[in-house]
Homo-oligomer: A and B are copies of this chain.
Amino acid sequence: MVVIMQIGATPEQVAQVEQAIERAGFRAFLNPGVERKVLAVLGVVDAQKATYSDRFARLPGVERVALISEPYKLASRETRAKKTVVQVGGVQIGSDTLAIIAGPCSVETREQTLNTARAVKEAGANLLRGGAYKPRTSPYAFQGLGPKGLEILDEAKRETGLPVVTEVLDPHDIPAVAKHADMIQIGARNMQNFRLLQRVGKTGLPVLLKRGPGSRIRDLLMAAEYIMLEGNSHIVLCERGISTFEDSTRYTTDVNAIPVLQRMTHLPVILDPSHSTGDWRYVGPVALAGIAAGADGIMVEVHPEPEQALSDGPQSLRPNDFAQLMRQIRKVARAVGRKVPA
């Protein structure tokens, strides 16, 4: 941490900052600057102590405080250099083999879900996604089948053998979801629902944590940190598009986030091109982009009849389109030294 003084700061103000630094348990080191004074804050700046930056920033004569290290610790690659591999059912996310998570946005009926599960399994997916509890922007939209949806997912899993990823919205539903899911999804809108993060963390189940559309990469890692502090590091991060001024797609896929996250954290990173584009016509190219950029997998929405879907029809692939995409994924994966589930 470095405290930068205003150009006209008085010696008394500098002294006051020095004292505040020392009182907080650090050593203050005054850099012999010419234009303005800069104080380095020395000592182990652990995560707790990093919160002192706000206090120093508010002292008289201080222009601003610059942080030297990132504020997340457990999620940082500087803390743990070795890549984490998250085990979900028999699937290892973060390994050489890509995670291909596919399935309907919402579980709507038994038939729709089973048909989709069979089709994505056949095409090469190794995990099944499907929502029983749906966070919808509009309260008038389909909100999911709830417990009935979880049972349908169970059946799909028994039949296909695919481990199931499903979202939870309400701490109240965690026990029910935890009984059925192999991996719990925290949706983008709940990325900073800190109590939900903590409670899902406590289940010990693998967590798929999606980035909020208005959240920085740093904030995503801080959200992961909430889960990790519960003793659960079975976390897969998911880029799913951010809010920008570009309106030809629903969100902007932040493809930079893939190599940035691979460098910043040891946690596996996947891409959800269905949400990040919001348009089935762009899902394929963007899925391939994610894999080429080094993602550990993708998550794609598939529906047997997208024009009848109760949610996310416009961004859902038909089973045939998904099978075709899988053939392309196979080639691109090989080109970047990754494998696709057999």
What is the interface of chain A, defined by CB distance below 8 A to chain B? 2, 4, 7, 20, 29, 31-36, 38, 40, 42-48, 50-51, 54-59, 66, 68-69, 71, 78, 135-142, 169-172, 189-190, 192-196, 212-219, 222, 225-226, 229, 242-249, 252-260, 262-264, 276-277, 280-282, 284-286, 288-294, 306-314, 316, 328, 331-332, 334-336
A308: chain B residues within 8 A (beta carbon): 55
Q: How far is the CA of A141 from the CA of B263 in the complex (A)?
A: 25
Task: State the oligomeric state as a number of copies.
Answer: 4
| 5 more A-B residue pairs beyond the given contacts A31-B40, A57-B313, A244-B244, with a C-beta to C-beta distance below 8 A | A32-B42, A56-B307, A58-B313, A248-B264, A332-B335
CB A16 to nearest CB in B, in angstroms, measures 9
Q: Which of B46, B171, B294, B313 contacts A55 (CB 8 A)?
A: B313
Q: How far is the CA of A321 from the CA of B71 in the complex (A)?
A: 31
Q: Which of B20, B68, B249, B281 contacts A38 (CB 8 A)?
A: B68
A36: chain B residues within 8 A (beta carbon): 68-69
Interface centre among A20, A58, A172, A312 (most CB of B within 10 A): A58
| Contact (Cβ within 8 A) B215 A214 | yes
A255: chain B residues within 8 A (beta carbon): 253, 255, 286, 289
CB A70 to nearest CB in B, in angstroms, measures 10
| Contact (Cβ within 8 A) A31 B31 | yes
A20: chain B residues within 8 A (beta carbon): 307
| Contact (Cβ within 8 A) A58 B248 | no
Q: How far is the CA of A36 from the CA of B1 in the complex (A)?
A: 11
